[in-house]
Amino acid sequence: MLNQLSERIEKIDFKKSYLKHKNSDDARIVYFIRRLADHNIRFFGQPLYEVVSIITSVIFDLEISKERARDTIKHVLAAWGKTEEF
């Protein structure tokens, strides 16, 4: 399952609404975090920072902290018109 997700991540067509710097070194990670947070907000009403950091860490085989996920997700929250923290 993780291999399939990794293959799909490699084929991501970046959308401007999630990325300002499409060619940055961590563009795939930022895109993934923001998409996952967007999904969580739609289905659960909140971004679920810790879940996002854990899933992202596993998928990319990196240590992604809850704080980094929160900082990255701020842009998604702004797009949803939410300024308060969850």
- Residues contacting 50, CB < 8 A, separation 6+: 66, 69
Share of the chain above pLDDT 90, in %: 29
**Closest C-alpha to 27, from 74, 84, 72, 85:** 72
In tens, the pLDDT along 10-49 reads 655 544 455 555 666 788 888 889 889 888 888 898 889 9
Helix (H) and strand (E) counts for the chain?
4, 0
In tens, the pLDDT along 56-78 reads 999 999 999 999 999 988 876 77
36-15-22-20 Cα dihedral, nearest 10 degrees: -90
Round the CA-based radius of gyration of the chain to a whole number and report it. Answer: 12
Tokens of 37: 């947070």
Domain residue extents for the chain: 1-9+29-86
